[in-house]
Amino acid sequence: MSTLLQRFGPGRRVPAPRRGPAQRLAAPSLTQQSGLHFTEWLLIGVLSVAYLLSISQPLFGIQLHLTLLNHFALLLLGPALALHLVGVLLNRASIPLSTILAHCWPLVLLALFALVGSSVAKWEYKQPDTYISFGVYLLLLPLYMAVVPAQVERVAVWAKVLLGLWLVASLAALAGEVAGFASRVASLHEIEYLVICGFFGLYYASPSKAIKLLALLLMTAAALLNQKLTGYIILTLALVHILAAAGWRRLPQQTRPVYAVVAVLLTAALAALLTTLYFEFRPFLPSGNAHVRLPLYEAALRQFVLSPVWGTAFLDGSGEGYREAARLLNIPTHSDVLDVLKHGGLIGLTLFVAGYGMLFVLLNRAVSATRTLGISNAYFVAVRFFLVTAALTFAINPILLKGPFLIVIWGNLGLAAGLALRVLASKAGEKT
């Protein structure tokens, strides 16, 4: 009788409910602090596929994003992201939605703007090329921010894995460029930011002077072998950043404001000098395909003038007519920024610049908060530089309509933004 009362009576102990598979796979575990969890590795695997597709030109001699594989990584990302996010939510370890949206709401609004207008353009006006993919991939940004680990101690683990993956992709792309250099094809075109930033991250991640020298040599080799203006500009920015940051860290706190002003003035003077030299030696430098770009830029600006507030509201196709010999080609404007201005008007461009600027401010705060944290600081410095150089690249190239590029850009920025929020929340908690 006493046994029955203990088992079914009012004083019985109710066992804790068992956790579901997704909750267990993404759960924080004391025995797993040194590595990633299963669902986290799934996300890294999908990001690896996106890297592979992005660097397919130097590796395989073919741009796989122009084939049926353009959205292959997205098909893999959907289940992996959903599984991990469910586990994070069940473990109540996600960043509050209000905090996430506070740092990316302009980009979310822009994504919805592009999705609604492009849906009408595609299914009502029968436009073959629209900005649906741009809206879908951009709308994933807050989800990337939500899936980062809850434990701030594991930020360094993610930083090591993401930097390592980045470096492997950069080395593979550079090896492919070296192997195909005799063909004189600029196979790193449109991915210079990705490749050089991987070596830039290596420079800051390693304390070894030999490794730092190697990183500088790899950055220089990537730019020189590719022989594109974008690569030269990104290499110059990397070298200026390294020199300026080295001086900044060696100065006492009270002299840093003066140093910052001097550094900005010297950088502006260097930019003016390089611009002058470019026009002086233009016949010996890459052309930049001005004969293709300028007509497309003019057409986009004419469209913007016709409707400057909201542009075409993304109700028009994503291509511009360009005549080459006897062929009329329908190709994107060679500037994603101008495309946003043309199709979204001042509203779209304001949302884009505001959202991108908010991410930069967040990453910059994370850099300041991790000054003494080694690998975490190197990661945030590299991603901040990646954010700037990616913007430079898509300001003069059409890369925000290509699936793998969109996952690499928004995936890296979203994960970094989420990790930054974890670090800053931890620092705020320490102060209180």
Residue scoring higher pLDDT (424 or 62): 424
What's the pLDDT score for residue 29?
41
Tens-digit pLDDT profile for residues 64-78: 887 888 899 999 999
- pLDDT at residue 326 tops 60: no
Averaged pLDDT for residues 120-133: 87
Give, in order, the Cα–Cα distances in Å from 292 to each of 311, 343, 402: 23, 20, 20
The single-letter code of the amino acid at 174 is L
Confidence of residue 288 (pLDDT cuts 50, 70, 90): low
- pLDDT at residue 373 tops 90: no
Averaged pLDDT for residues 177-181: 78
Which of 74-83, 146-155, 243-252 reaches the highest mean pLDDT?
74-83
What's the pLDDT score for residue 15?
52
Residue linked to tokens 């669902």: 39
Mean pLDDT across the chain: 83
Tens-digit pLDDT profile for residues 15-48: 554 555 555 555 544 334 456 788 899 999 999 9
Are 301 and 343 spatial neighbours (Cβ–Cβ below 8 Å)? no
Give bridge partners of residue 322 from the DSSP assignment: 329
Tens-digit pLDDT profile for residues 239-276: 999 988 888 777 777 777 787 787 778 778 877 777 77
56 Cβ contact partners less than 8 Å away, ≥ 6 residues apart:
62, 63, 64, 65
pLDDT > 90: percent of the chain:
46
Least confident span in 4-8, 92-96, 206-210:
4-8
What's the pLDDT score for residue 278?
67
| CA terminus-to-terminus distance, the chain | 54
Query: What does the H/E/C string look like for 306-319?
Result: HCCCCCCCCCCCCE
- The string of DSSP letters for 330-365 reads EEE-S-HHHHHHHHHHHHHHHHHHHHHHHHHHHHHH
Which tokens is 156 given? 């360094």
Averaged pLDDT for residues 297-305: 87
Averaged pLDDT for residues 421-428: 88
- pLDDT at residue 220 tops 90: yes
Residue scoring higher pLDDT (348 or 249): 348
What's the pLDDT score for residue 11?
53
Residue scoring higher pLDDT (137 or 283): 137
Half-sphere exposure of 363 (CA within 13 A, CB side): 25
Confidence of residue 139 (pLDDT cuts 50, 70, 90): very high
Which tokens is 304 given? 């913007």
- Rounded Cα gap, residues 73 and 418, in angstroms: 21
Averaged pLDDT for residues 425-430: 78
What's the pLDDT score for residue 23?
52
pLDDT > 70: percent of the chain:
83
What's the pLDDT score for residue 411?
95
What's the pLDDT score for residue 432?
60
Are 314 and 121 spatial neighbours (Cβ–Cβ below 8 Å)? yes
C-alpha 249: how far from chain center: 26
Averaged pLDDT for residues 316-336: 61
Question: Where are the domains positioned within the chain?
Answer: 39-228+286-431
Q: 84 in helix, strand or coil? A: helix
Confidence of residue 86 (pLDDT cuts 50, 70, 90): confident
* pTM attached to this predicted model: 0.86
Averaged pLDDT for residues 306-315: 92
What's the pLDDT score for residue 3?
53
The single-letter code of the amino acid at 113 is F
Strand segments, DSSP code E, in 272-333 are 319-324, 327-332
Give bridge partners of residue 329 from the DSSP assignment: 322
- The string of DSSP letters for 19-53 reads PPHHHHHTS--GGGTTS--HHHHHHHHHHHHHHHH
What's the pLDDT score for residue 298?
85
Structure letter (DSSP) for residue 280: H
- pLDDT at residue 116 tops 50: yes
Which tokens is 140 given? 């994933």
